[in-house]
Amino acid sequence: MKKRVIALIVSASAMFLHADEGERLFKAYCWGCHHQTAEAFGPSFRTIASKRDRSEIIAQIVNPKGMYKILGYSRNSMPAFDDLKPNELEALADYIMKFKDAK
Ligand code: HEC
């Protein structure tokens, strides 16, 4: 019983850390061009979350030159973030998807 409670607490805090990590990465790397719900230089995370899935989002982050046409853009102005780790990309994708129904 005790073990299960501890396991629950550990996995819950891992989830919170993961969400915080997405927000931290967003502020460090994306905030200049993307905002959560307002359009900026790039589309808002709300707009992105409403029309893309996680794999399209991750593909654009690591390889925008290979993705922008597929996503319907006529030019690529976003730099590639190809040194982010897989877990950081997952955290960013989770963070972006949170804005799907954001007001
Ligand atoms: C220098 C400005 C800039 C930065 C920094 C930037 N982006 Fe972008 N982003 C853009 C622009 C402009 C586009 C439109 C397509 C293009 O230029 O390739 C875009 C497109 C996107 C798209 C696809 C949009 C769609 O239609 O679905 C995603 C996803 C995305 N960015 C995520 C991110 C994430 C996550 C970060 C941070 C790791 C980031 N971007 C950092 C400018 C930027």
Is the Cβ atom of 91 under 6 angstroms away from ligand 1? no
> What's residue 51's pLDDT?
96
pLDDT at 80: 98
Q: What is the mean pLDDT of the chain?
A: 91
Q: What is the pLDDT of residue 53?
A: 97
What atom in ligand 1 is closest to the CA of residue 77?
Answer: 17
Residue 5 has a pLDDT of 72
Expressed in angstroms and rounded, the spacing between residue 15 Cα and the centre of ligand 1 is 25
Is the C-beta atom of 32 inside 6 A of ligand 1?
yes
* CA-to-CA dists, residue 33 to 5, 10, 18, 39, 78, angstroms: 42, 34, 22, 9, 9
CA of 80 to the centre of ligand 1 (A): 9
The pLDDT-based confidence of 2 (bands split at 50, 70, 90) is confident
Whether the Cβ atoms of residue 37 and residue 102 lie closer than 8 Å to each other: yes
